[in-house]
Amino acid sequence: MLKEKKRALILFVIALVLCFAGSLGASLVQTGGGSINVQNYNNKPLAQVAETIAVNNIAGNKNITATFTSSTTEKMTYKVLVPKNATPENPAPAVVMMHGGLSNKDTTAPIYIELARRGFVVIAFDAMGHGKTDKGVDALTHNTMGMEAMVELAMSMPCVDETQVGVTGHSWGNNGSAAVINVINLGEENPKIKAWLCAQGTLGIYDLQPGAIDGVTFGLSVGKYDEIDATYVGSYTFTSSPIATGWIQEVYPAFDAAEVPTGIWFDAGGAHEVAEGTKFEGIGGRVLYPPANTHPGALFSKTGTATNVNFFYGAFGVPGGAAYIPSEHQIWGWFTAFLAVGLAGWFVLALAIFDLLLFTPMFKRLRGNQEALIISDQKGLPSFRNLKESVPLICMFIFLTVFSYLTMVPCTAAGSKLIPSSNFFPNAAHTSGALGYWSFVTALVSLLAIYIVSQIKMVLNRKDKSYHWKNPLDPAKLSADKLVQSALMAFTVFCAIHLVLWCIDAAFNVDFVIATIDFTTFRPVKIFVMLRYLLLCAPFYIVNAILNANTRFKDLPEWASTAIVCVGNVLGLGLLLFREYSALFATGSLLTGEACSTFTVVWSMLVPLTLSPIIARYTYKRTGNVWVGALLNSFIFIMMQVGTGQYMIEGIDITMFGL
């Protein structure tokens, strides 16, 4: 017992070191080793943003008007990066950036890191209804998703040249960018936004009002393999499309080429080659980029990041006091690597805390008798070499793989209709509702498959007198009080590891956000939203844990048994993604274009589906039941979705009971 407790303590210390060391490393990259001041502003009411603008006006002798509606209840969360070259005596250009849907400010980290280290002041924010920004912010900022407040805040900062402010967005963030350009550039209170890079997810350009973009340096980045743009604007051949040529002709009517040259700037005077790091001196210049990446790749690729750097260098030049850094020289990969180390430590920390809690008076009853478990394993575990045991199991995994492959698209399509956004389920129906429905259906089918396979094995072994049929649901059998204890244990671990996230956010100004993998702090009220989505998603993790417990063999090591379930969980979706993206890369079109937004989200599911069997196996080996692991997986991975999920439908707000 003492040896096991000591082992748990050592694991806890190692996990904590990894968690904080990774966060510290990411912070050092983000701050450029201390040369960039980075601050997170969490849950700031719009009234405080307006007050900050007023204070900044006095400090910088400016007259920026807060045109948004002040509020003491509607709150925003944002991050400000100020490089050392940006001072009141030497104000720098600023870039305000907005993430895409189902995301938050930190998904734009590679871009704001690279812009800030090149001397630009950057503000990245959680848009309305995402992360920790309230949905009501949208209406109070003239339907700009909160971007109006952030642009005016940037203009007011003493270290910013208010006449040199640009905006950029990814996907839905382009709609926010277009909206704020309409509001500010057609208004009379403040300086105009001078540059916009519409960075993949280009439908936002159709939201522009006449005159709003006049004189604005305008970049358009259309990813060649962007799932959204491939479906709606034909990104594979976009440079020769009427949309692209017409876009150039708006500023240079004489343009008559069949294809728009990329990386070349255009204005009323024609085409101009601009060396990177040199400011384009024309008025209303336009430049087209075709990075060879996917929709999520606009944020987590060297090409997507380089596009942002190249454009804002062209729009504003090298900021005064900063050195020119070529766009291909990028360090954000180190940032991501450190975050990966911290995130790995974070998951190990969850298991270490679980181990330590088993030694506490409150949860010690959950601890399985290790000797009894070993004896049970030796007597009751089947042999993988016994084909009557292994073949039915393999057939079941093949069936479930095919089921996932065939049903993801139709189930998510049906789920978005059957489970619409509501006060009870406030997240976007086409993601949370759709994926929740698929998870629920998959859980039911998997449970049925487990039962059928158990019956098949019983029939196959009926002549073997030494064979004892075991109910596959035995690992889920638990008394009511222990079930409550298991739920409390899982929730305690969940709260503990998220407390660590809060500490990391406060100390290092980073979150564990890597591409579409998203583990961040959240508003406490979202716990109640998570509990409601448990109704849809928890059955999957419970059944998966039962399946996990039934794939153990006496002649297979634990890691191999766990790997079988991990592969089984992701293989169907992996094959689906391979099919769709092979077609996209070869032809420029997804085979199922109507599900383009679904495919961009499915990538993030691969992480929960891979990690959940590992967590379930670890906890099962120490308790002899599946519930702690199943519920811990449910809490962690449902909050991953709910914590940053969008709730954009008018009249829907986050409430405790969903009423």
Residue 127 has pLDDT above 70, yes or no: yes
Mean pLDDT of 212-230: 96
Residue-wise pLDDT tens digits, 548-590: 998 888 888 889 999 999 999 999 999 999 999 999 999 999 9
Mean pLDDT of 383-409: 93
Residue 262 neighbours by CB under 8 Å, 6+ apart: 239, 288, 289, 290
Q: What burial class does residue 567 get, using C-beta atoms within 10 Å of its C-beta: 0-12 exposed, 13-18 middle, 19+ buried?
A: middle
Residue 376 has pLDDT above 80, yes or no: no
Concatenating the DSSP letter of every residue in 578-590 gives: HHHHHHHHHHSS-
Residue-wise pLDDT tens digits, 42-55: 999 999 999 999 99
Q: Report the b/e string of 640-655 with b at 16+ CB within 10 A.
A: bbbbbbbbbbeebebe
Mean pLDDT of 624-645: 91
Query: What pLDDT score was predicted for residue 641?
Result: 85
pLDDT band of 219, cuts 50, 70, 90: very high
How many angstroms separate the CA atoms of 164 and 120, rounded? 10
Mean pLDDT of 291-319: 95
Residue 304 has pLDDT above 60, yes or no: yes
Q: What burial class does residue 594 get, using C-beta atoms within 10 Å of its C-beta: 0-12 exposed, 13-18 middle, 19+ buried?
A: exposed
Residue 373 has pLDDT above 70, yes or no: no
211-220, 638-647, 650-659: segment of lowest average pLDDT? 650-659
pTM: 0.94
Query: What pLDDT score was predicted for residue 604?
Result: 87
Compute the mean pLDDT over every residue in the chain, rounded to the nearest whole number: 93
Residue-wise pLDDT tens digits, 86-106: 999 999 999 999 999 888 999
- Candidates 140, 112, 137, 136; CA nearest to 124 is 112
Residue-wise pLDDT tens digits, 238-267: 999 999 999 999 999 999 999 999 999 999
Residue 624 Rama label (left phi>0; alpha psi -120 to 50; beta): left
Query: What pLDDT score was predicted for residue 525?
Result: 86
How many angstroms separate the CA atoms of 549 and 83, rounded? 53
pLDDT band of 368, cuts 50, 70, 90: confident
Mean pLDDT of 489-513: 97
pLDDT band of 375, cuts 50, 70, 90: very low
Residue 369 has pLDDT above 70, yes or no: no
How many angstroms separate the CA atoms of 538 and 541, rounded? 5
Query: What pLDDT score was predicted for residue 444?
Result: 97
The percentage of the chain sitting over the pLDDT mark of 70, rounded to a whole number, equals 97
CB atoms within 10 A of CB 127: 32
Radius of gyration of the chain (CA): 27
Residue 624 has pLDDT above 70, yes or no: yes
What does the block give as tokens for 522? Answer: 């959240």
Query: What pLDDT score was predicted for residue 370?
Result: 57
Mean pLDDT of 330-338: 98
